[in-house]
Amino acid sequence: MELLPNFSLLRPRSITEAVAARAGSGETRFLAGGTDLMPAMRRGLMQADTLIDLSDVAELRGITVDNKGVRIGAGTSIEQLATHPLLARDYPAIAQAALAIAGPTHRAVGTLGGNLCLDTRCRYYNQSEPWRTAINFCMKLSGDTCRVAPKSDRCYAAYSGDLAPTLMVHAAVADIAGPLGRRQVPLAEIFADDGIAYLTLAPGELLVAVSVPVASGWRSGYEKIRTRGAIDFPLVGVAVALRCADDGLHDLRIATTGSDSRPLLIAGLDELCALPLDDALMRVDKLLRKQIGPMETTLAPATYRRRVVPILVRRLVHRLMAG
């Protein structure tokens, strides 16, 4: 049986205390819901001398609404996102993605910040230590070869968080605290296309909240394909947000998860909105083929996952256009 290694536990009560604790000596990690971190530590995928439990930091929790939009604390539970009436009404993609994450007990303790900062994964890395030892490990941990792409000089483990693409199509901004103070950046900018260094957060930085502007006129949705109808991470997930005008597209945003080492906001969509819908969707298919790059990170073939993404996009666009 896999056992947790020994570690110290700190319980700061403010963001300032949490950031200061991360600057301490030794290997430290922030602990939110722990639904990904604790199993990873049991399997030897992550190490920490000290865990910084964020559950007592009230500033990290809650959903607040004003005339500029909605602000969601990084410590807000996924269950709250799935059941919040304003999100379901004005930002439905976010609520749909939250409801599609894992199972009810996971959603009750898992958090927005934990899902956004979810470790990348692949079928070679996310295994027991004896299994990984048998293949001489991989580049992401203890090895020197990416088992997904053996001739590559980088890791291709895939990002599989459900919430990131839905927030990205709603132009979300991340609020980050660190040793040098606070900063705000578009959410898409906290992710990097690298299976190992998949976040751009500086050492000691903490994701505090995500702000989403008013979604006047926008319609959105999220769909994912997974092996089982519940629990599983997405083989691929797609978020779409659009606005209509004169029975056609006025604005279109698409983001994906599960296909690459970061959630991907598809570029080049603005010029397509002036086209008839069928022509626009044909062009979207070409953009998707060029920009997404599924690898053999899951048991489902990359070719299957690549073909599924345009189907999900078309399904969502037609559904949203119909109101």
Query: What CA–CA distances, in Å, run from 21 to 36, 174, 229, 280?
Result: 21, 21, 40, 51
Q: Which of the listed residues 35, 53, 71 is the one where a domain comes to its end? A: 53
Strands across the sheet containing 173-178? 63-66, 69-73, 206-213, 173-178, 181-186
Residue 58: what residue type? Answer: A
Termini Cα distance of the chain: 51
**What is the domain count for the chain?**
2
Tell me the pLDDT of the chain averaged across its residues.
96
- Say which residue, 323 or 256, is predicted with more confidence: 256
Which has more pLDDT, 293 or 3?
293
pLDDT at 1: 55
Backbone phi, then psi, for 199, in 5-degree steps?
Answer: -115, 145
Res 6 pLDDT > 70? yes
pLDDT tens, residue by residue, 25-63: 789 999 999 999 999 999 999 999 999 999 999 999 999
* Residue partners of 110: CB distance under 8 A and separation at least 6: 32, 33, 35, 36, 77, 78, 101, 102
Q: Judging by DSSP bridges, how do beta strands 50-53 and 173-178 pair with one another?
A: unpaired
Identify whether the C-beta of residue 232 lies closer than 8 Å to the C-beta of residue 226: yes
Residues 48 and 65 occupy one common structural domain:
no
Decide: 88 and 112 in contact? Cβ < 8 Å: no
Average pLDDT over residues 274-291: 96
Structure confidence at residue 323 (pLDDT): 82
CA dist 29 and 288 (Å) reads 35
- On whether residue 259 sits in a domain, the answer given is yes
Least confident of 147-151, 165-169, 228-232, 263-267: 228-232
Q: Is the pLDDT score of 315 beyond 90?
A: yes
- Going by C-beta distance under 8 Å and a sequence separation of 6 or more, which residues neighbour residue 88? 95
- Distance, in Å, from the CA atom of 167 to the CA atom of 165, rounded to the nearest integer, reads 5
Q: How confident is the model at residue 247 (pLDDT cuts 50, 70, 90)?
A: confident
User: Does residue 302 register a pLDDT over 60?
Assistant: yes
Residues 45 and 80 in one domain: no
**CB of 36 closer than 8 Å to CB of 102:** no
In a domain, 210, yes or no: yes
14 close to 57: Cβ distance less than 8 angstroms:
yes
CA atoms within 13 A on the CB side of 73: 16
Please list the residues that pair with 176 across neighbouring strands.
183, 207
> How many other C-beta atoms lie within 10 A of the C-beta of residue 279?
11
Residues facing 141 on adjacent strands: 138
Domain that holds residue 297: 61-117+158-321
Report the DSSP beta bridge partners of residue 248: 245
35 and 78 within one domain: no
Domain boundary among 53, 73, 97: 53
Kindly report the CATH number assigned to the domain that includes residue 217. 3.30.390.50
Where would I find the beta strands (DSSP E) of 24-172? 28-31, 50-53, 63-66, 69-73
What's the rounded Cα separation, in Å, for the pair 122 and 307? Answer: 19
The CA-based dihedral angle spanning residues 296, 299, 305, 308, taken in that order and rounded to the nearest 10 degrees = 180
Judge if 3 and 48 occupy the same domain.
yes
CATH number of the domain enclosing 41:
3.30.43.10
The per-type count for the chain, helices as H runs and strands as E runs, is: 11, 12
| pLDDT of 257 higher than 80 | yes
Beta bridge partners of 111: 77
Give the model's pLDDT for residue 24. 77
Token pair listed for 314: 């078309």
Indicate whether 163 and 279 sit together in one domain.
yes
* Percent of the chain predicted with pLDDT > 90: 94
CA atoms within 13 A on the CB side of 57: 27
